[in-house]
Amino acid sequence: MSNTGVPADGRNDRNEWKKLDDAWGNTEFLEGVRSRDADALARFFDMAFPYVYNLAFRLVGNRELAEDVTQDVFAKVYRAADTLQVDRHPKPWLSTITYNTCRDAARRSAVRPESLEDAATIGERSGDASSPEDVLLRKEREKMTEKALLELDVESRAVVILHDFWGTSHDDIAEILGLTHAAIRKRYSRALKHMAQTIKGLQE
**Section 158-169 average pLDDT:** 91
Would you say residue 112 has pLDDT above 60? Answer: no
Q: Name the pLDDT band for 2 (thresholds 50, 70, 90).
A: very low
pLDDT > 90: what percent of the chain? 51
Average pLDDT for 170-177: 94
**What band does 204 get if pLDDT is binned at 50, 70 and 90?**
confident
Q: What is the pLDDT of residues 14-41, one digit of tens each?
A: 555 565 666 677 889 999 999 999 999 9
Where do the domains of the chain lie?
A: 10-114+131-203
Check pLDDT > 50 for residue 1: no
Confidence band, pLDDT 50/70/90 cuts, at residue 13: low
More confident residue, 38 or 112: 38
Determine the average pLDDT of the residues in 44-61: 91
Average pLDDT score over residue span 155-179: 93
pLDDT-derived band at 10 (thresholds 50, 70, 90) equals: very low
Q: Residue 41 and residue 92: Cα distance in Å, rounded?
A: 17
Proportion of the chain above pLDDT 70, given as a percent:
77
CB within 8 Å of 140: residues ≥ 6 apart: none
Mean pLDDT of the region 57-80: 94
pLDDT, position 138: 75
Each residue of 114-125: pLDDT tens digit?
Answer: 555 443 443 344
pTM above 0.85, yes or no: no
Give the separation between CA 135 and CA 132, rounded to whole angstroms: 5
Mean pLDDT of the chain: 82
Query: Dmax of the chain from CA atoms?
Result: 56
Distance set, CA 171 to CA 118, 159, 182 (Å):
30, 11, 9
pLDDT value of position 121: 42
Secondary structure of 151-190 in HEC code, one letter for each residue: CCCHHHHHHHHHHHHCCCCHHHHHHHHCCCHHHHHHHHHH
**Angle of helix 38-60 relative to helix 27-34, nearest 10 degrees?**
90
- Please give the pLDDT value at position 142: 80
How far CA 140 is from CA of 31, 118, 145, 160, 199, in Å, comes to 45, 13, 9, 19, 11
